[in-house]
Amino acid sequence: MEEKEKIEESEMIKKIVEELKKIWAGNIRKKSFTFSLSETTFPKVLSPSLLERVLNRFLKEFDWKKFKRREYLETELGLFISAFLEKNISSQENKDIEVRLKVKEIPIVFKFLGYQNPKKLHLIIDGNCGLYAGKEMVGGKIIIKGNCGDSVGQKMRGGMIIIKGNCGDCAGWIMQGGKIIIKGNCGNFIGWNMRNGKIIIKGRCGHHIGEKMRGGELSIKGEVVAFDESAFSSDNKGTIIWKNIEIWRNGDWTKKGREMRKRGEIPVS
């Protein structure tokens, strides 16, 4: 790229970042931040590479000292970033767009990153993530290169979430579709009320696993403190796989699952 083009691109990024700062400052004064976001006109970014550079510069230049003196803005800033991404991605013609957020040096843990993640967006979060990552996700992919808080993939309908570390409670809460892969350990209430989709956990899980599960597939490679009794209700038309053994399918125990249950090998509370 010629020097003149580099200067023009740098100026464009600077201008868009300043616009984002003004939009943020205007939105945080409103009573209903989420509602006001739906009415916000975000600046359009011309290319995926510019989109990534704009967001990371915005985070780098953010006034974190002022931010930390206010309550609950961790949630709102995550929604703000997700809304900016969604509105830009929807205007792109590319098939798949990859955006990497560098959050390791950020002094807070973002909530709601990847909220309503669109089909074309592959969001890579380079660091830890807070509550509700990928909530109501539509498609695409979210890769979290760290740990994740509670309720990842809540009400997600499609796409894939990959967590390379551990996650908190309620992963896949009321999940409607898509796939969640957790490479570390999980907390409690995993797959709570899930209806469809697939959850794969390579580590161990806590209590109340599969509570009120109605469909989908829950596969756990490691130890489980206790499955919830409701996971093995005839209302659960889904599949439960534990330690690579299918123990439940379509409202009933499998042959191996029934044998393991009789021997007291499946922890249920």
At 108, the pLDDT band (50, 70, 90 cuts) reads: confident
Return the higher-pLDDT residue of 120 and 215: 215
The confidence score (pLDDT) of residue 251 equals 97
* DSSP string for the chain: --HHHHHHHHHHHHHHHHHHHHHHHHHTTSS-HHHHHHT--PPP-SSHHHHHHHHHHHHHTS-HHHHTTSSSHHHHHHHHHHHHHHHHHTT---S-EEEEEE-TT-SS--SSTTTT--TTEEEEEES-B-TTTTTT--SSEEEESS-B-S-TTTT--SSEEEESS-B-S-TTTT--SSEEEESS---SSTTTT--SSEEEESS-B-SSBTTT--SSEEEE-S-BS-B-GGGGSTT--SEEEETTEEEEETTEE-HHHHHHHHTT-S-B-
pLDDT of residue 9: 85
Give residue-wise pLDDT tens across range 29-68: 555 556 567 777 888 887 888 899 999 999 999 888 777 6
Q: Which of 5-14, 82-91, 243-252 has the highest mean pLDDT?
A: 243-252
pLDDT for 40: 76
**So what's the pLDDT on residue 24?**
85
Mean pLDDT along residues 74-85: 83
This prediction's pTM: 0.93
Q: What average pLDDT score do residues 205-234 get? A: 98
Name the least confident of 41-50, 118-127, 184-193, 248-257.
Answer: 41-50
Mean pLDDT of the chain: 90
Domains of the chain, by residue range, sit at: 147-269
